[in-house]
Chains A and B, each alone.
Chain A
């Protein structure tokens, strides 16, 4: 999808967040800058402790940055308390008010904004319809299932028509099937409401399938921002390549540059073309990544050669683990067919051919 340079909903500029004091000081966010566009489904992806939730809390106003600015449509909101920000949150544990009905929960934000009763009622009805919960509007939140609570939490956060909706791992408490349903549901809601969604998750598959753009975070830093396709196929750093999907790392000597590509000579002596992470000038030795599905196993000679070490059957495909002659490990993913096995056996001497435009050089 071509990137459309829209207006920015949120701009995070040089934000730092430090917890603790003195010796025990920890930087949860280390000078982070990122722009999130209007009407975008933007995902903060990373392992636990990477700072993604901290960034979300700073945007919501539950915490305040130690340094830096957070702009909402160009206005610095960093010093504002949460109740003065046109931003709403869907919490990981939903945080529904147990002493109110479903409808009262959904209407709470509008009521706090001082909207007239008739308007609140109409909007609540609209929201109930949007999340398909009309039948349960008078139930207590303790009397509905986890998936229904999730919908109520969404409706409650969407009802005041926030400029930005924040979602803090909202699907993590749901079982697999419900999670898949809610992923589609979330995409639909985002599309129908046209509200900017900022979604926090540690689940790379969730991020790839739902997002317009993803920011991959680690140790309080944003390592790469891009479309799912960018992040998967053109990882800029080892962490990104490793965290998202499976991948092969090869050490190569850089022997030339041209057309945005580098000539990389692998340890097997074969030279291939590889794209280079944006704005990176590779030195003599660099790391090349190749996704397992972008390489092909042959019984003859290929770009690399080695011995089959392990074969793992996955139903849709088979993973063949090869120990290269250079002693590096390499995995090839091969689509399965109904008629035959994968065609290789343990101990087979095999060649691996790397497709055109399959290799990427990391900014190590």
Chain B
């Protein structure tokens, strides 16, 4: 048989792929395995136990940080998705005009600007406001997270809108639907999977943010990731592995739930 060039079957490709998979997943697997270590080392195996999960569960700092994380991420995800949906509608449901490209760049700015720059800027900005208002609650973290989550929520929503057939909205108007009814009955149901994707993405991005949170948080406002970072400065026990494992589980759960929701939508 004549040998034909096939991009998928090249010498060494399989090896490279395997190395990539190991580099990605082996550390995670190790982390999860040592979460069940009976001993107090993260490198020496001493048998199976759930003690570190119990310890984390009974650690008030961990529980408080987790609740704080969920509060911030939920608010940030919902608000940023609403803003992103409106931004996506405004930037796609219009004829191209000068300055539209600038608006895209403006909305996506948090993706381009180095996070540390945003973090420093927010720190300075918020410290002024703290002095003026005297308020030092979680609101600053929620505002900061909402701001950097907008582009992540915006991307899938915009992609969904751009793939949508605009004649569908015209057809709805032709069939006596007012603009609001056309949006509610046609645009929104078709956009929903994009909005869900944006929401999930924003939530996950917010949940594991460290840099901006570390700079913006006031004392006693550790989120789960900044708490974990703090632990590394001290003696490390497999408790950190246990927390990470639960964290991982929640992420997988969110992605899986979304996968099934979006698949159901597409099948309809």
Residues of A within 8 A of B (CB): 60-62, 81-84, 87-89, 91, 93, 95-99, 108-109, 112-113, 140, 156-157, 160
Whether A112 and B171, one on each chain, are in contact in the complex, defined by CB atoms closer than 8 angstroms, is no
**Contact partners of A160 in chain B: CB under 8 A:** 175-176
> Chain B nearest CB: distance from A159 CB in Å?
9
Whether B178 and A95, one on each chain, are in contact in the complex, defined by CB atoms closer than 8 angstroms, is no
Whether B167 and A99, one on each chain, are in contact in the complex, defined by CB atoms closer than 8 angstroms, is no
* Residue of A96, A97, A156 contacting most chain B CB atoms (<10 Å): A97
Is residue B107 within 8 Å, beta carbon to beta carbon, of the partner chain? no
Whether B268 and A140, one on each chain, are in contact in the complex, defined by CB atoms closer than 8 angstroms, is yes
> Chain B nearest CB: distance from A32 CB in Å?
22
Tell me the complex Cα distance, A82–B179, Å. 10
Whether B175 and A109, one on each chain, are in contact in the complex, defined by CB atoms closer than 8 angstroms, is yes
Whether A95 and B176, one on each chain, are in contact in the complex, defined by CB atoms closer than 8 angstroms, is no
Render B188-202 as a binary contact track against A, CB cut-off 8 A, 1 for contact: 011000000000000
Whether A95 and B181, one on each chain, are in contact in the complex, defined by CB atoms closer than 8 angstroms, is no
Tell me the complex Cα distance, A53–B97, Å. 25
Whether A112 and B181, one on each chain, are in contact in the complex, defined by CB atoms closer than 8 angstroms, is yes
Is residue B6 within 8 Å, beta carbon to beta carbon, of the partner chain? no
> Chain B nearest CB: distance from A70 CB in Å?
15
Whether A109 and B176, one on each chain, are in contact in the complex, defined by CB atoms closer than 8 angstroms, is yes
Is residue B56 within 8 Å, beta carbon to beta carbon, of the partner chain? no
**Contact partners of B182 in chain A: CB under 8 A:** 83
**Contact partners of A98 in chain B: CB under 8 A:** 168, 190
**Contact partners of B168 in chain A: CB under 8 A:** 95, 97-98
Given A93-B165, A93-B167, the answer on whether A60 and B174 have CB atoms closer than 8 Å is yes
Among B159-175, those with CB < 8 Å from A are 165, 167-168, 170-175
**Contact partners of A156 in chain B: CB under 8 A:** 175
Tell me the complex Cα distance, A140–B267, Å. 9
Whether A82 and B173, one on each chain, are in contact in the complex, defined by CB atoms closer than 8 angstroms, is yes
Among B173-219, those with CB < 8 Å from A are 173-178, 181-182, 185-186, 189-190
**Contact partners of A96 in chain B: CB under 8 A:** 171
Whether B176 and A83, one on each chain, are in contact in the complex, defined by CB atoms closer than 8 angstroms, is yes
Whether A95 and B165, one on each chain, are in contact in the complex, defined by CB atoms closer than 8 angstroms, is yes
* Residue of A83, A109, A160 contacting most chain B CB atoms (<10 Å): A83
Whether A88 and B165, one on each chain, are in contact in the complex, defined by CB atoms closer than 8 angstroms, is no
Whether B173 and A83, one on each chain, are in contact in the complex, defined by CB atoms closer than 8 angstroms, is yes
> Chain B nearest CB: distance from A158 CB in Å?
11
> Chain A nearest CB: distance from B170 CB in Å?
6
Option from B167, B175, B189, B190 in Cβ contact (under 8 Å) with A112: B175
Given A97-B186, A99-B190, the answer on whether A112 and B165 have CB atoms closer than 8 Å is no
> Chain A nearest CB: distance from B166 CB in Å?
9
Tell me the complex Cα distance, A291–B10, Å. 66
Closest residue of chain A to B192 (Cβ to Cβ) is A99
**Contact partners of B190 in chain A: CB under 8 A:** 98-99
Closest residue of chain B to A109 (Cβ to Cβ) is B175
Closest residue of chain B to A86 (Cβ to Cβ) is B176
> Chain B nearest CB: distance from A125 CB in Å?
18
**Contact partners of B171 in chain A: CB under 8 A:** 89, 91, 95-97
**Contact partners of A93 in chain B: CB under 8 A:** 165, 167
What 9 pairs between A and B have smallest CB-CB spacing?
Answer: A109-B175, A95-B171, A112-B176, A95-B167, A82-B173, A112-B177, A89-B174, A83-B176, A99-B189
**Contact partners of A91 in chain B: CB under 8 A:** 167, 170-171
Closest residue of chain B to A91 (Cβ to Cβ) is B167
**Contact partners of A157 in chain B: CB under 8 A:** 174-175
Closest residue of chain A to B182 (Cβ to Cβ) is A83
Given A91-B167, A99-B268, A140-B268, the answer on whether A82 and B186 have CB atoms closer than 8 Å is no
